[in-house]
Amino acid sequence: MKTKLFINNAWIDSSDQQTFERKHPVNSEVMTESANATVTDAIKAAQVAEEAFKTWKDVGPSERRRLLLKVADVMESKTPKFIEVMAMEVGASALWAGFNVHASANVFREAASLATQIQGETIPTDKAETLSMTLRQPVGPILSIVPWNGTAVLAARAIAYPLVCGNTVVFKGSEFSPATHALITQCVQEAGLPAGVLNYLNSSPDRSPEIADALISAKEIRRINFTGSTRVGSIIAQKAAQHLKRCLLELGGKSPLIVLDDANIDAAVKAAVFGSFLFQGQICMSTERLVVDEKIADEFVAKFVEKTKRLSVGDPCVTGDCIIGPMVSPNSGERINGLFKDAIDKGAKVVCGGMAQGAVMPATILDHVKSDMRIYDEETFGPITVVIRCKGEAEAIRIANDSVYGLSSGVFGRDINRALRVGMSIEYGCVHINGSTVQNEAQAPYGGTKNTGYGRFDGRAVVDEFTELKWLTIEPFEQQYPF
């Protein structure tokens, strides 16, 4: 596959004609050859976005809605292509790729529904014969930096919500998934959005920092949203602060699933397997910690292991569909093996799976994990999860909150009042009672606390993220002033 940059409604090579390759993480076969953007290309994209904003901001809500609904239809029509490309670039199963397309279409449709819901309000005023109100207005060009793991849906939300609010977008895709992100851009193009409203860039890892620097500092860019690691998100936040630019950051996670002593164990096991191993555990809300009451831990672990061992393993590009495919990079295996060895050396028990070989790793479960082990709170982002045994409700809450992250979580228990009490006590942006940590609906706000970042995607929360709030008054000509 070969892809280019998309600037001002044209697919172009990079300004220096350079390309980079995305290789298969196991056999090193070239999957995609992509145009390798330069700083010159990035600045051009920002300038084009600023020019397009002058007219796009005045496009009526009905037309914005029509266009975004069209994008959703186009995306769904290309589902087979997304499944093919995501398997090649990021090892996605047909299940995960299909979910991404479905969720992406939902995002564009939810964004479309917001077109007429961007509202201000009237404000009581003490000034006679005066009308006081607030307005929501577009911000300007938005820089959207998107990762590879939720390849389609994370791109969709970074594009759709700024657009429906009247902004234009410079979309910086991931070097791990250039063809998938180009395909999303193609969907927007085919829907008929005006030139310059969406501009797409991609670049090799060595060029990405300078491109991000150039775009963050560019006077044309007004706000930034970034989904990715906490380390990089922190850097982006610091650079944006130097230019007084607001950020929306959705960063790392270490999502716990609390299993109380009165939980439906079979139901909890199903949620644990799904949340831990969908897309090889490479989802920001993957279940990376099972906090299980010691009274039921042995039964839970036995059933968890039994169900996990039945998961199909393979490479979607070779064997067809499977649940556990290759990780995105051999570096993932090396990193996870370091966490694995540290935990084993300190007393953790391997009850399922084992170490990674490059990008290939079986579904793995470690039991008896303790707080002195690195894997206790370091994000794994792979097909491995841990069981932490606890004594009662209070300790379960303490362990769940003993994390630098705060994205998603779940609580299983038959006593709903008790489960709700636990859910209200844990410090996470998303809490699901008797449900998996891996959940997303376009109409519900999504984001986290602590080192997971700040701001919210999805639902009405995005109106605040991608508009400016203006106070406006209409007053009589003749007024009394003190001088």
Backbone angles phi and psi of 281, in degrees to 5: 70, 20
DSSP notation for 378-427: S---SSEEEEEEESHHHHHHHHHHSSS--SEEEEE-S-HHHHHHHHHHS-
Helix (H) or strand (E) holding 279: none
What is the rounded distance in angstroms from the CA atom of residue 199 to the CA atom of residue 41? 10
Q: Where are the beta strands (DSSP E) in 393-448?
A: 408-412, 430-433
CB 172 within 8 A of CB 201: yes
DSSP 194: P
CB 255 within 8 A of CB 289: yes
Neighbour tally for 226: CB within 10 Å: 27
Sequence letter at residue 449: T
Backbone angles phi and psi of 240, in degrees to 5: -65, -40
Tokens representing 111? Answer: 């964004």
What is the rounded distance in angstroms from the CA atom of residue 380 to the CA atom of residue 281? 8
Would you call 250 a catalytic residue per the annotation? yes
DSSP 289: E
Closest alpha carbon to 336 in 313, 304, 359, 319: 359
What is the rounded distance in angstroms from the CA atom of residue 143 to the CA atom of residue 137? 17
> Quick check: helix, strand or coil at residue 442?
coil
What's the chain's Rg over C-alpha atoms? Answer: 24
What is the rounded distance in angstroms from the CA atom of residue 118 to the CA atom of residue 145? 24
CB 54 within 8 A of CB 143: no
DSSP 434: T
CB 132 within 8 A of CB 125: yes
Region of 144 please: left (phi>0), alpha (psi -120 to 50) or beta.
beta
Backbone angles phi and psi of 144, in degrees to 5: -115, 115
Residue 314: burial class (beta carbons within 10 Å; 0-12, 13-18, 19+): middle
Tokens representing 400? Answer: 């769940």
Catalytic residue among 250, 288, 393, 465: 250
CB 328 within 8 A of CB 176: yes
Closest alpha carbon to 465 in 284, 249, 221: 249
Catalytic positions are: 250
